[in-house]
Amino acid sequence: MNNLHRSETLQLLQSGQQYFPALIRAIDGAAAWVQMETYIFDLHLAGGQVAEALVRAALRGVRVEVLVDGIGSDPLPPAWQQKMKDAGVGWLVYSPLASGLGGLGLLVPDRWRRLHRKLCVVDQRTVFCGGINVLDDFYDPNHGELTSPRFDFAVAVTGPLAAEAAEAMALLWWRVQAGYSARQNHLAAAWEKFKAAGYGRRTDAAGLSVKTSPAEPGAAPLPGAKAVLVLRDNLRNRSSIEKVYRQAIGKAHHEILIANAYFVPGGKLRRALVKAARRGVRVTLLLQGRYEYFMQYHAARPVYGALLEAGVEIHEYEASFLHAKVAVIDGHWATVGSSNLDPLSLLLAHEANVVIEDKVFAGELRDSLCAAIAGHGRLLDPVAYSQRPWGQRILDHVAHALMRLAIFITGQRY
């Protein structure tokens, strides 16, 4: 990619056990500004510790802005609402469902466009990006306590990427604020906020005066490493992340290693993987092996057949819930982010991935994925797949058909 930036440091963070301590240290060291976006903000255990760090930052005068998704995150309990308000934490909800409608609000296709990216920028100096929600590794809102930690990744980057992410996050923050003012019929305030969001001039993010914070403890200096932030939205960047994947897959010579939680690739991406396997590239997928959601679990399986036939290795992760959205190609290209390879991520949601060009970083991520495959992956046998019970096949095809229907309703092609 032509717009790769040289980064000062890169740190791979595996699961919340590494991510949350690093995130909290960065927030506690913030001098001027903390911006956070997440799909899920859950206050159990580690999530509560992150919330306390945000409160501490705001109380010492740091500007703190938190944007959460209106479906992924439950409303803050009253005590926490008051605590955030008293500290001066800015807290906004992206696309909340209308009160009283509950899940019925999801019948409106426009409501399927969610905030799914997980970003945190501290002082425009360090950006955290990945698939990890503010959610404890050993807790799931739908399944309760987990015996093994959720498998996921994030990356902490210092350098030009942080300022770029800060500007994008500030723009979305002001747009959400403006939308809220418009819904409350505060039209004059909405107009001022739309102008501040970049309509007629750039967002003020780049103009904020901040102090430079030190590199994150444990972050390795990688003088040759280059990285770029790839954002997906429903305006100018509709297919940016999928294109990055397809370009890298198309250039692969030796190995493609992908770990993805909800894997339902569209035709172009699926054909790119098949072509790579047929030209001799070893293609290995680490996918969700445990049942989490009906649609995501069953809709993925009908696409396995063509991949297995082409020689793609599919391993299902069974130790806990796999939530990773990462890839390594040819030992030097890597991506860590929030985007699944499914239609919700690639067609509808706000997503963020960091693409990294560096052998050391890619090697570290590859080692982690290979260890997970060796220790907790179950190789999917093509013969066993073709002979799976008819009841399971019916569920698989029903889920896949429903997903295709949903795509059609949104007016998208996939």
Segment 271-293, tens digit of pLDDT: 999 999 999 999 999 999 998 88
Average pLDDT over residues 245-267: 97
Indicate the fold that domain 227-409 takes in CATH. Endonuclease; Chain A (3.30.870)
pLDDT at 209 over 80: no
Confirm whether 123 is a catalytic residue: yes
Q: Residue 223's pLDDT band (boundaries 50, 70, 90)?
A: low
Domains 5-220 and 227-409 share a fold: yes
Choosing from 123, 137, 140, 342, the catalytic residue is: 123
From CA 377, how far away is CA 304, in angstroms rounded? 16
Tens of pLDDT, residues 335-354:
999 999 999 999 999 999 99
Q: Of 401 and 273, which is predicted with more confidence? A: 273
- For residue 204, the model assigns a pLDDT of 39
Q: List strands edge to edge, sheet with 90-94.
A: 90-94, 63-69, 33-38, 118-122, 126-130, 153-158, 9-14, 220-221
Mean pLDDT of 312-338: 97
Stretch among 126-135, 193-202, 227-236 having the lowest mean pLDDT = 193-202
Active-site residue, selected from the candidate residues 28, 204, 233, 330: 330
Which residue of the set 193, 323, 376, 400 is catalytic? 323
The pLDDT value given to residue 408: 84
Contact by Cβ (8 Å): 372, 72: no
| 116 a catalytic residue | yes
Give me the residue spans of the domains in the chain: 5-220, 227-409
Question: Which position among 193, 298, 325, 400 bears the catalytic label?
Answer: 325
The reported pLDDT for the residue numbered 101 is 53
323 tagged catalytic: yes
What DSSP string runs through 44-110?
STHHHHHHHHHHHHHHTT-EEEEEEETTTSPPPPHHHHHHHHHHT-EEEEESPPPTTTGGGGGGSGG
CATH 3.30.870.10 is right for the domain spanning 5-220:
yes
Q: Which pLDDT score is estimated for 110?
A: 67
- Choose the catalytic residue: 42, 69, 116, 342: 116
User: What pLDDT does residue 205 have?
Assistant: 39
The full DSSP string for 213-271 is: PPPPTTPEE-TT-EEEEEEE-SSS-SSHHHHHHHHHHHH-SSEEEEEESSB---HHHHH
pLDDT, tens digit, for every residue of 93-116?
999 876 655 555 555 656 778 999
Check if 118 is active-site: yes
Which listed residue (42, 69, 118, 350) is catalytic?
Answer: 118
Whether 376 sits among the annotated catalytic residues: the reply is: no
The answer to whether 152 is a known catalytic residue is no
Is 180 a residue whose pLDDT tops 90? no
pLDDT at 183 over 60: no
Of residues 400 and 189, the one with the higher pLDDT is: 400
pLDDT mean over 139-147: 92
